[in-house]
A and B are shown apart, each in its own frame.
Chain A
Amino acid sequence: MKKKYLAIPYVVWMAIFVIVPLCLVVGYSLVNPEGQLTLENFKALTQYWTVFATSFRLAIIATAVCLLIGYPIAYWISREGPGVKRIAMIAMMLPMWMNFLLRTYAWMSLLENTGIINTLLANLGVFKLINAVFGTELTYFPMINTPGAVVLGMVYNYLPFMILPIYTVIDKIDTRVIEAAEDLGANGVQVFRKIIFPLSLPGVLSGITMVFIPSVSTFAISKLLGGGMTLLLGDLIEMQFYGNAYNPYLGSAISLVMMVIVLICMAVMNHFGEGEEGAVYF
């Protein structure tokens, strides 16, 4: 009983900074500038479905890439000794000590047409070689200002959020379970497929959640690395507040719909995850 009091500041904090803003968003999305109740905002939203589609597509790609890169890394780290683990953790966390915008700016100077990567490749004679072989007239690889660069930015920024939960879960797997499987004649592939992977699914699920949600709502990355060519949901929402029209009502409606879609995605995923977990135990 006593312990519950300790949670009160947290509850108050949540009430002020989570519940109240959420209520504001819901409230705003349901009124027009004159303050009357209306569903107009949601109706106006339908014209922006392409933006929703682009955002979710890029976020799904980024999450998938994060998973493909993150899982093997997490698996590898968890198998190494404590020294390697510590270094790997530091290497992963170190960039995160820097502000996210700064890191994204760094990618800009890396990816630009006259940027570090292209200059390096030019100096190494890579373009000359390619031009000689294929008869092209390449002077740089166009990398920045493409949807690919946006996905790269998302993957780079959110990869640690994929690795960490997966690593934590794999690291906690009881080695005796693996030994038992080996004793019963499972080979390496079978151990991974039947024991490690199913047991790591909760980590995978939280990793996916933690990468997908910020990816789908990001806005700075598309501006900096995408050259403003691809409009994402985050940009669209920002525009309602900082654009010409100043329409926080529509902005709130977009945010709300986005939250609901994300919530549904997560619910579906968790359901799917529970099923998998169940399969392990039976």
Chain B
Amino acid sequence: MNDSTASTGTRVLGSITLVGFAALLLFGLVLSPADAAQGELVRMMYVHVPTAFVAFGAFTVTVAASVAYLLRRTEWWDLVAHGSAEIGAVLLAATLVSGMLWGRPTWGVYWTWDARLTTTALLFVLVLGYLAVRRLPLDRDKRAGLAAVVGLLLLPTTIVCHYATTWWRTLHQGPTIARADPQIDGLLLFTLVLGLAVFALLYVWMMVHRFRVLYLEHRVEDLGLDTAIAERRREASGALATPRPATGPVT
């Protein structure tokens, strides 16, 4: 018997992701050359950029699933929105940490209130707020509806964050690959695309597992409720069946 959230599909996907990570480490830390402007520090871009891209994608999925939940009110969409936001939060945290570690030797500071950094921090706080709503002690449907409404706020914040370097003059560099003429080529571009593919695979793999974990949480909650209701019914029927003690006049 399989007592986990794994299946044949997730095992295959997980194995491919692991091989992908091994390749990313090889290309990112060994095979790809240093950049003419950034030197060796460009290696952090192979983590920073993919985690940011995939986190933005994860929040887009959360928004789409929230809209679908508000229209259909089905558990499936609620779980997709929840799981995707959780993974997006983890990846965005990785984006922030890798960006800070890149900023210190490049800009001389870990953090500056640049438009891109500020909007990323706002997005992170917003997704933490969304996950906090998910923990509110409310009826499940009410909580899911409220979370779906809060989840919609991720869309404008993600868009502003993504276009911050285009709309404002920022210390953070502008688009490198998300443009018609990518600003890198050769092994650097290959490693960056490899990073994007590997983190996208990781997202899909984690998404399937998180969906199943959240689904199981709901089922355990339901079983707990069913048991409690059955218990109360047994108590009630027991109380009815038990003859009440005779109460005669006090002499």
Is this pair of chains taken from one and the same complex?
no
Interface, chain B (partner A; CB < 8 A)? none
